[in-house]
Structure 1
Amino acid sequence: MLFSHRSTNFPLVGQHQQVSCKECHKTLEFNKAPSQCADCHTDVHEQTVGTECARCHTPNSWIVANITQLHQQSRFPLIGPHASADCRDCHKNMLSTVPLTSVLRFDPLGIACYDCHKDDYLAATQPNHVASNYSTQCTDCHNMNVFTWSGAGINHNFFPLTGGHAIDDCRACHTSGSYSKIPSACVSCHQTDYESTTNPSHIALNFTTQCTDCHTTNPGWKPAEYRSHDAAYFPIYSGEHRGEWNSCADCHTNPSNYAEFSCINCHEHERGDMDEEHGGIGGYIYSSDACYSCHPTGSEEGSFNHSKSAFPLTGAHTTTDCSDCHTNGYSGTPNTCSGCHTPNYNQTTNPNHTSLGISTDCAACHTTSVDWKPATFANHDAYYLLQGAHRNIANDCFTCHNGVYTNSDRSCFTCHTQDFNLSTNPSHTAAQFPTTCEECHSQTAWTPSTFNHDGKYFPIYSGKHDGEWNVCSDCHKEPTNFAVFTCTTSCHSKAETDNDHDEINDYTYESNACLNCHPDGSDKKGGIKPTYRQY
Structure 2
Amino acid sequence: MKQHWLTKRFLSFFLLLAMLLSLVLGTVYLGLTAPLHPGQFLYPLQNFGEQVQLTLTEGQQAQAALSLTLADRRLANLASAAPKATLAAVSALNDALETAVFHIHALPQAEQEIEFIQFKALLHRTEIVLSALEPDDTGQIEALTNRVKGWQGADTLAEVAAQLPLRTPIPRLGTAALVPFLADGVDHTAFPLTEGHADLACESCHTDGTYANTPTACGDCHLLQPVTQSPNDLLFVNNTDLWLVYPKHFTGTCESCHNTSTWQMAEFDHTGIVECASCHEQDLPLQIVPEIVLISYSETAVSPTHYTTDCQQCHTDTTNWNLFSYDHDGATECQSCHSQNIPFSHYPGKCTDCHTNIEDWSQYTFEHENDENSCTACHQADTPDQHFPGRCTQCHSDTDDWATLDVNHTGLTDCLTCHQDDTPALHYQGSCQRCHSTTTWADISFDHTDYQDCQSCHSEEQPPNHYYGQCNSCHQDITWQDVTFDHTNQTDCNGCHSQLTPNSHYPGYCGSCHLTTAWVQVWITHAGMNNCTQCHHTP
Length-normalised TM-score, structure 1: 0.26
Could you say which structure has the higher helix fraction? 2
Length-normalised TM-score, structure 2: 0.26
